[in-house]
Structure formats: structure tokens, C-alpha cells
Amino acid sequence: MVARLANEALALNAAIAELDALIENRFRQHQHAEIILSMPGFGPLLGAEFLAATGGDLTQFIADRLAGVAGLAPAPRDSGRLSGNLRRPRRYDRRLLRVLLLSALTSIRWCPACKIYYDRKRAGGTRHAQAVIALARRRLNVLWAMLRDRTEYQAMPPAAAG
């Protein structure tokens, strides 16, 4: 029984690897693939998820609208005399938010400019989750501008990042 279960697990792993390869090949055929892959924190699978969540065509979005769809733009929760209360919107695309948060978490480790931004937010008193959300929003704005201008990511020197 153990050998049969092990063989099934190996067959599943092979099927998953084959599916990942198909997704990567299909993603690399998209017109924005190289631009998305140039940004630290995005690989072929996260890039494919990003394109799937946005429909592959970003001409229908402006940066703020895309952030609102992703759940990264705060919505007002004012009542009476209270103003300035902000919260996550009730409706947002959880798949898109997941992609952006995963890429932000990855970029903290591998991108010096993102690490500096995250550390600055943490030093300012924000919690980890808030700092990651702020980084994801900033990266979304950069990614949107890269796709709009059709330019690849260019890393800034760590001293100039901020």
C-alpha cells in the first residue's frame, strides 16, 4: 500500500510539473511577459496569475483603479463627524491581492530598494502586514507604469532608493 501511495504521489508531482511548464510556456507568449518578469518578485507562475486576474489587458485600468480592484486602495469608512477612517474595500479580487502580496514578500528578500522601503516603514512604526501592503501598493504602481510605458524594471542604486 505504501508503494502504491508513493507512486501516486510521484505521478501527481510529475503532472503538476507538466502543468507548471505549460503555464510558463503560455505566459511567455504574452506581450507583457518580459516586462512582468523583469520586476523582482515576479516569476512565470505569479506573472501568469497576475495576467489571469487582470484579464491580460491593462488598458482598462488606471493605477488607482487597479489598486482598488486588488484591495490595496483604502476605502473611506466615515460616519457623522468622524472622517479619515479608512479600511480595505468590501469588494476586491482576492487572487490579485494574493499575487501582489506574494511578490512583495519575495521582493523584500531579493530587491535592495524594496528592502529599504520595507525597513523604513517598519522603523516608522507600522506593523509587518501594513508595511507589506504599502510595499505591494507601491510595486503595483511601478508595475502599472512599466506596462503603460512598455519598459522593463530598472533597479535604482540602494542609496538613491527611498
Angle at 36 between CA 99 and CA 56, to 5 degrees: 75
Residue 69 and residue 96 in contact, taking contact as beta carbons nearer than 8 Å? yes
Domain ranges of the chain: 31-149
- Residues β-bridged to residue 87: 75
Q: Using DSSP, state whether 75 is helix, strand or coil.
A: strand
- Residues β-bridged to residue 86: 76
List the pLDDT tens digit at each of the 162 positions of the chain.
999 999 999 999 999 999 999 999 999 999 999 999 999 999 999 999 999 999 887 778 888 888 888 888 876 666 777 666 666 777 788 999 999 999 999 999 999 999 999 999 999 999 999 999 999 999 999 999 999 999 999 876 555 544
Q: What pLDDT score was predicted for residue 29?
A: 94
Rounded to two decimals, what is the model's pTM?
A: 0.82
Rg (CA), the chain: 19
**Amino acid code (one letter) for 61:** F
Q: How far is CA 29 from CA 11, 22, 98, in A?
A: 28, 11, 23
